[in-house]
């Protein structure tokens, strides 16, 4: 049996952090249909690791006050995160409400575990990271939206654990919050550059297809189960033998994959030109490897998230804070992928989705929209993006040693971020059972060797 080494923490402090007094007026935000689709989705869990070879005392006296103070100043801009999800009796749907005095739960902890083991790319049991993440409890009538935890590894480093409700953020928004906080902490100035200032106006989201009502019925209304409440979350726990691994594609690997696709495709001159971005090539290659590894036999579909901010009609500000993503399914037959031209076929299927976006966002038929529990059974999702530049989240003590999306162990998605070295590569995160991971890793590595021939 694969056993995880113990990873216990000592809680040093429990506190709450609020925006500066009277800096924000009471405000409520309605949920759009984009938000409602994620009401029951698993919580977003992120850990940023930072090397900091100093004592615990130095961390508590020097680093911690800056993190707390800058968090308070940041919440002045991102005040909904200090608020709560509630369901007023007179409202047909939940709302996000901030009132003066609302705050965010913060845990300060110490760990004697191996900092470099927990922040490494190698396979390790998913349970090892859980103690580095804060809890975000909810009741039948109220759900906090954000909780934070700082864990110090004396003489090695510290990490920032973030647990956030998906109903308030997509990947773009959560990264904007982290970068804004880091910017304020680094500079000591509460002002933010325009590209980091959140935009909250929900009236810019139009709903010509009536998706809000559809999502209310599909995702929000209680089921017949007596234990079901408005704010219950689909929260599948990963089996005890689930391991998390980070794989890397270098800039050179991506260029070789691109050359392979173009060479194999030369025989067919009639097909339209391909969009061969880093994202497309990475997703296609990982998808092929997963199918060849026979991982989760039903999961032969890929769900590609599309940020709709610039694609809505009219477009909305890129700093819109909330959910504004639609998933587009990419289909293929496993037997097609298994062949020598599997990567070419995967790339072409992804390009069909891209070409379909040229005429704008189409919400699609409601019957094709799965529920959260259905999402767990079928497609392979993609979380985060190499375009988010998460390794630029520098609080003043350098770039993260590792930025990791922990919640993929519950959603079954793969996470994509840019390589830490900034050389144009990609880091791909996965959570699979130990045997599946070993098979996938072998196929992933051998496939890259073959592309070098």
Rounded Cα distance, 177 and 400, in Å: 16
Query: Can you read off the two tokens belonging to residue 88?
Result: 């007023």
Burial of 61 (0-12, 13-18, 19+ CB in 10 A): exposed
- DSSP classification of residue 199: B
**Is the bond preceding residue 314 a cis peptide, omega within 30 degrees?**
yes
Check 207, 307, 336, 394 and give the catalytic one: 394
- DSSP classification of residue 445: H
Query: Can you read off the two tokens belonging to residue 10?
Result: 């000592």
The dihedral sign for the CA sequence 251, 256, 257, 258: positive
Active site residue 170: no
The contacts of residue 343 (CB under 8 Å, 6+ apart) are 257, 260, 261, 264, 284, 285, 288
Check 166, 170, 253, 328 and give the catalytic one: 166
Q: Are 378 and 411 a contacting pair, CB within 8 Å? A: no
- Please state whether 389 falls in left (phi above 0), alpha (psi between -120 and 50) or beta: left
Q: Which helix (H) or strand (E) holds 258?
A: helix 251-265
Rounded to the nearest 5 percent, the helix, strand and coil shares of the chain are: 35, 20, 40
Hey, how many other C-beta atoms are within 10 angstroms of the C-beta on 438?
14
Active site residue 114: no
Overall residue count recorded for the chain in this entry: 453
Q: Is 219 in a helix, a strand, or coil? A: helix
Burial 67-100 (b: 16+ CB within 10 A, else e): bbbbbbbbbbbbbbbbbbbbbeeeeebbebbbee
Q: Which residues participate in catalysis according to the annotation?
A: 166, 394
């Amino acid at each position: 049996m694969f056993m995880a080494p113990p990873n216990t923490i000592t809680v040093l402090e429990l506190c709450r952090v609020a925006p500066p007094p009277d800096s924000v007026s009471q405000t409520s935000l309605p949920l759009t249909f984009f938000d409602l689709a994620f009401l029951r989705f698993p919580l977003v869990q992120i850990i940023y690791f930072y090397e900091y070879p100093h004592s615990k005392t130095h961390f508590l006296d020097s680093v911690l006050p800056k993190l707390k103070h800058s968090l308070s100043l940041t919440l002045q801009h991102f005040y909904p995160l200090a608020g709560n999800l509630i369901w007023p009796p007179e409202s047909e749907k939940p709302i996000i409400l901030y009132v003066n005095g609302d705050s965010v739960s913060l845990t300060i902890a110490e760990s004697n575990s191996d900092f470099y083991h927990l922040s490494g790319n190698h396979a390790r049991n998913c349970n090892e990271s859980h103690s580095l993440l804060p809890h975000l409890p909810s009741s039948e009538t109220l759900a906090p939206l954000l909780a934070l935890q700082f864990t110090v590894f004396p003489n090695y480093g510290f990490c920032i654990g973030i647990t956030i409700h998906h109903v308030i953020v997509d990947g773009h928004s959560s990264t904007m919050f982290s970068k804004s906080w880091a910017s304020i902490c680094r500079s000591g100035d509460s002002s933010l550059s325009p590209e980091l200032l959140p935009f909250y106006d929900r009236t810019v989201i139009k709903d010509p297809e009536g998706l809000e009502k559809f999502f209310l019925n599909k995702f929000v209304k209680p089921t017949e189960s007596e234990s079901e409440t408005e704010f219950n979350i689909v929260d599948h726990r990963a089996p005890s033998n689930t391991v998390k691994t980070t794989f890397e594609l270098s800039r050179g690997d991506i260029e070789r994959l691109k050359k392979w696709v173009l060479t194999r495709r030369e025989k067919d001159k009639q097909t339209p030109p391909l969009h061969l971005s880093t994202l497309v090539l990475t997703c296609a290659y990982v998808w092929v490897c997963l199918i060849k590894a026979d991982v989760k036999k039903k999961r032969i579909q890929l769900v590609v998230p599309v940020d709709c901010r610039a694609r809505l009609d009219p477009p909305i500000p890129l700093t819109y804070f909330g959910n504004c993503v639609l998933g587009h399914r990419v289909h293929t037959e496993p037997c097609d992928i298994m062949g020598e031209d599997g990567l070419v076929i995967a790339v072409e299927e992804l390009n069909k989705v891209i070409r379909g976006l040229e005429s704008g966002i189409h919400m699609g038929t409601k019957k094709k929209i799965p529920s959260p529990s259905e999402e767990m059974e079928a497609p392979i999702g993609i979380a985060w993006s190499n375009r988010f530049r998460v390794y630029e989240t520098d609080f003043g003590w350098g770039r993260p040693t590792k930025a990791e999306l922990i919640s993929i162990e519950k959603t079954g998605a793969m996470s994509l971020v840019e390589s830490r070295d900034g050389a144009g590569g990609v880091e791909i995160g996965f959570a699979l059972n130990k045997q599946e991971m070993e098979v996938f890793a072998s196929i992933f590595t051998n496939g890259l060797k073959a592309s070098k021939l």
